Chain A
Amino acid sequence: ETGVTQSPTHLIKTRGQQVTLRCSSQSGHNTVSWYQQALGQGPQFIFQYYREEENGRGNFPPRFSGLQFPNYSSELNVNALELDDSALYLCASRSLGTETQYFGPGTRLLVL
């Protein structure tokens, strides 16, 4: 186990709704990244947070946003949900200055 936890484990939403996913980083890790993993695909980078600020973003629209808190927990918020947002959402944490990211178990989101 990596020490990275995520909640909830599963979630069902309706198109147009908003969702908040949560992550608790591994102890001592001050950088968190979020990834979207569609069924049968590799994870795709959404964004990275360090010191409560976004400092890197992938090809995702602004309706994907995040927060990082002083205790290194973080949130991923998705507004105006679309059917294609159905996926496994993974957070990964690491210590600044190191390359290795440790992933949580993910939250599986289904948009109907």
Chain B
Amino acid sequence: GENVEQHPSTLSVQEGDSAVIKCTYSDSASNYFPWYKQELGKGPQLIIDIRSNVGEKKDQRIAVTLNKTAKHFSLHITETQPEDSAVYFCAASPLTSGTYKYIFGTGTRLKVLA
């Protein structure tokens, strides 16, 4: 069935270092890949997304790469700051008759140590 695997489950980095989170999806029909940041007690907040016709996208300190052949996509955060500490979720979305059902990974708890 449809599945998204996300690694690592926890990640601790020193402030200023880079963080990388990796996801693998199973449904080859997936064509949209958003990343969400969820802080304690809040709903997921979109931080970046990528569509299947693009291999890489960057927004300031955040970048996402997509390898459709390998069904892998990754989130890269450079120059991490304490406020980047949160749980990050990747998702894959296959378009089926207009239903953008997101299949989420299990999350990565990122801790940025000052």
Query: CB within 8 Å of B: which residues of A?
Result: 2, 4, 6, 33, 35, 40-45, 48, 50, 55-56, 58, 90, 94, 96, 99-106
Q: Considering the chains assembled together, what is the distance between the CA atoms of A55 and B95 in angstroms? A: 12
Interface contact B99-A44, CB-CB below 8 Å: no
Contacts of A99 in B (CB 8 A): 32, 34, 49, 51, 93, 95, 100
In the assembled complex, how far is the CB of residue A106 from the closest CB belonging to chain B, in whole angstroms?
5
Q: Residue-by-residue, is B26-44 near A (CB-CB < 8 Å gives 1, otherwise 0)?
A: 0000001010100001111
- Given contacts A42-B89, A43-B89, whether A2 and B96 have CB atoms under 8 Å apart is no
Q: Say yes or no: is B46 at the interface (Cβ < 8 Å to chain A).
A: yes
8 further contact pairs, Cβ within 8 A, besides A100-B34, A101-B34? A40-B106, A45-B102, A90-B43, A99-B34, A99-B93, A99-B100, A105-B42, A106-B43
Contact surface of B with A, Cβ cutoff 8 Å: 4, 6, 32, 34, 36, 41-46, 49, 51, 89, 91, 93, 95-107
Least CB distance from B55 to A in Å reads 18
Residues in A neighbouring B6, C-beta threshold 8 A: 42
29 A-B residue pairings within 8 Å (CB atoms): A2-B43, A33-B101, A40-B106, A40-B107, A42-B4, A42-B89, A42-B91, A42-B104, A42-B105, A43-B102, A48-B99, A48-B101, A55-B98, A56-B99, A56-B101, A58-B101, A90-B44, A94-B100, A99-B34, A99-B93, A99-B95, A99-B100, A100-B49, A101-B100, A101-B102, A103-B43, A104-B43, A106-B42, A106-B43
Give the chain B neighbours of A43 by CB distance below 8 A.
44, 89, 102, 104
* Chain A nearest Cβ from B19, distance in angstroms: 18
